[in-house]
C-alpha cells in the first residue's frame, strides 16, 4: 500500500525538468534576474538604463548570430573579434569617399576573411579552431598595421547616427540587430540552406553521402559569420565615435560563444537556436550589469559567468547523452 501511495504522490519529474532546461532555462533565468533587479536595483526600469543595456548587447547579438550558424555545423570561429577590429581600422580610411563606400569596404574585408576561414575548414580540411585561430592573431595584427596602432576619431554625423541615433524611439543599432535576428531565423527555419546547414552539423558524413554541397555550405557559413562580425565592428565604431583596432571586438568571440551555448545551441552541431542565442546574450549582459550596479568586483562577475557557462554545457551534454 505504501508503495502505491508513493508512486501516486505528486512530485518533480526530474526527467522532464532536464528536457525543459536546455530549451527554456535561459528564458526562466532572464525572468528571475529581471525580477531581482526590479526589486533590488534602483532605477532598473528607467528607459535610460534599458536603452544602455540594449545598446551594449546589440553588437554581441550580431556576432553571436554568426557564431550560432558556425556552431550549428559543429565548427567554431575565433576570428570574429579580429574581423571587427579590421572593419574598425578600415572605416576612417575610406569614410572620405562616403559612408556607404566605407561600410561596403569593411563588409568586403569581412567577406574575404570568411572565405579564407571557410576554405581552410571545408577544402583544406583544417580543424575550425586551428583555421580561425590563425586569423584571430593575424587579423588583429593586420588591423593594427592598417590603423598605425593609433586611435582615430570619427566626425561624420551620418555615420555616427548608426551608433547613436534613434528611430521610432529605439536606437538604430538595435533595429539593425533585430532585422538581422529575423533574417538569420528565417534562413535557419525556412530555407534549403538552413536545412542543409543543420544536416551537415548533425552528421557531415551522411550529408556528403546524400549529395549535399557540404563544402559550399561550410564556406558560406563562415562568410556569413565574418560579414556579421564586420557589421558589428562598423556599429561599434559608430557608437564610440572612434576607431581603435586594439580594443574593438576584443574577446567578443568568448561573449558570442557564451551567448550561443547558454542559449541552448549544442557545441556538437545539428541545431541552431536563434532566439535562444539572443536570450543568452541578454542574460549575460544582465548578469554583468547587475553585478556592476551592486558594486561587485570584476573577478566575481567573471566567476559567475564561468559557472553559468559550465551549467549550460553540462545541461546540453546531459541532453545529448540521452
Please check whether residue 236 is in contact with residue 163, taking contact to mean a CB–CB distance below 8 angstroms: yes
Q: How sure is the predictor about 316, in pLDDT bands with cuts at 50, 70 and 90? A: low
Q: How sure is the predictor about 315, in pLDDT bands with cuts at 50, 70 and 90? A: low
Span 65-75, pLDDT tens digits: 999 999 999 99
pLDDT at 2 over 50: no
pLDDT at 137 over 80: yes
Residue 166 CA to its chain's centroid (Å): 23
Q: How sure is the predictor about 7, in pLDDT bands with cuts at 50, 70 and 90? A: very low
Higher-confidence residue of 193 and 298: namely: 193
Q: With 0-12 CB in 10 A as exposed, 13-18 as middle and 19+ as buried, what is 63?
A: buried
CA dihedral (292, 295, 299, 302) positive or negative = negative
- The stretch 133-137 carries a mean pLDDT of 91
- The stretch 267-287 carries a mean pLDDT of 92
**For position 232, what pLDDT does the model report?**
97
Span 77-110, pLDDT tens digits: 999 999 999 999 999 999 989 999 999 999 999 9
d(CA 54, CA 282): 8
> Mean pLDDT over all residues of the chain?
89
Hey, how many other C-beta atoms are within 10 angstroms of the C-beta on 175?
15
Q: How sure is the predictor about 303, in pLDDT bands with cuts at 50, 70 and 90? A: confident
**For position 313, what pLDDT does the model report?**
72
Please check whether residue 37 is in contact with residue 290, taking contact to mean a CB–CB distance below 8 angstroms: yes
Span 178-217, pLDDT tens digits: 999 999 999 999 999 999 999 999 999 999 999 999 999 9
**For position 121, what pLDDT does the model report?**
96
Q: How sure is the predictor about 5, in pLDDT bands with cuts at 50, 70 and 90? A: very low
d(CA 290, CA 26): 16
Higher-confidence residue of 310 and 22: namely: 310
Q: How sure is the predictor about 36, in pLDDT bands with cuts at 50, 70 and 90? A: very high
- The stretch 133-154 carries a mean pLDDT of 91
What percentage of the chain reaches a pLDDT higher than 90? 69
**For position 6, what pLDDT does the model report?**
45
pLDDT at 22 over 70: no
d(CA 64, CA 78): 12
Query: Which residue from 191, 227, 179, 213 is spatially nearest to 67, judged by alpha carbons?
Result: 227
In sequence order, which residues have a C-beta less than 8 Å from that of residue 228 and are 6 or more positions away? Answer: 62, 63, 65, 66, 110, 180
d(CA 79, CA 277): 19
Q: How sure is the predictor about 23, in pLDDT bands with cuts at 50, 70 and 90? A: low
pTM (global) more than 0.85: yes
Rg, Å, the chain Cα set: 21
Higher-confidence residue of 211 and 306: namely: 211
Span 208-254, pLDDT tens digits: 999 999 999 999 999 999 999 999 999 999 999 999 999 999 989 98
Higher-confidence residue of 304 and 41: namely: 41
Please check whether residue 82 is in contact with residue 138, taking contact to mean a CB–CB distance below 8 angstroms: yes
Helix (H, G, I), strand (E, B), or coil: what is residue 288? Answer: helix
Amino acid at each position: 500500500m505504501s508503495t502505491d501511495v508513493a508512486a501516486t504522490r505528486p512530485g518533480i519529474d526530474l526527467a522532464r525538468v532536464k528536457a525543459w532546461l536546455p530549451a527554456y532555462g535561459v528564458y526562466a533565468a532572464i525572468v528571475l534576474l529581471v525580477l531581482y533587479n526590479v526589486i533590488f536595483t534602483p532605477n532598473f526600469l528607467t528607459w535610460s538604463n534599458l536603452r544602455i543595456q540594449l545598446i551594449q548587447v546589440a553588437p554581441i547579438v550580431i556576432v553571436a548570430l554568426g557564431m550560432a550558424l558556425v556552431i550549428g555545423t559543429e565548427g567554431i570561429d575565433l576570428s570574429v573579434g579580429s574581423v571587427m577590429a579590421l572593419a574598425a581600422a578600415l572605416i576612417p580610411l575610406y569614410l572620405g569617399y562616403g559612408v556607404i563606400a566605407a561600410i561596403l569596404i569593411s563588409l568586403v574585408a569581412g567577406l574575404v576573411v570568411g572565405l579564407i576561414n571557410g576554405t581552410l575548414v571545408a577544402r583544406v580540411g583544417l580543424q575550425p579552431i586551428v583555421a580561425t585561430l590563425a586569423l584571430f592573431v593575424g587579423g588583429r595584427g593586420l588591423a593594427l598595421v592598417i590603423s598605425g596602432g593609433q586611435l582615430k576619431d570619427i566626425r561624420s554625423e551620418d555615420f555616427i547616427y548608426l551608433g547613436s541615433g534613434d528611430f521610432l524611439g529605439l536606437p538604430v543599432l538595435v533595429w539593425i540587430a533585430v532585422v538581422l535576428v529575423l533574417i538569420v531565423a528565417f534562413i535557419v527555419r525556412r530555407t534549403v540552406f538552413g536545412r542543409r546547414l543543420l544536416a551537415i552539423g548533425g552528421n557531415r558524413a551522411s550529408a556528403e553521402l546524400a549529395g549535399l554541397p557540404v563544402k559550399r555550405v561550410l564556406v558560406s557559413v563562415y562568410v556569413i559569420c565574418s560579414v556579421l562580425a564586420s557589421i558589428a565592428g562598423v556599429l561599434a565604431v559608430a557608437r564610440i565615435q572612434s576607431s581603435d583596432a586594439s580594443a574593438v571586438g576584443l574577446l567578443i568571440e568568448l561573449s558570442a560563444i557564451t551567448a550561443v551555448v547558454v542559449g541552448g545551441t549544442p557545441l556538437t552541431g545539428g541545431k541552431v537556436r536563434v532566439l535562444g542565442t539572443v536570450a543568452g546574450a541578454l542574460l549575460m549582459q544582465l548578469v554583468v550589469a547587475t553585478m556592476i550596479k551592486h558594486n561587485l568586483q570584476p573577478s566575481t562577475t567573471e566567476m559567475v559567468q564561468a559557472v553559468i557557462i559550465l551549467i549550460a554545457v553540462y545541461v546540453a551534454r546531459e541532453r545529448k547523452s540521452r
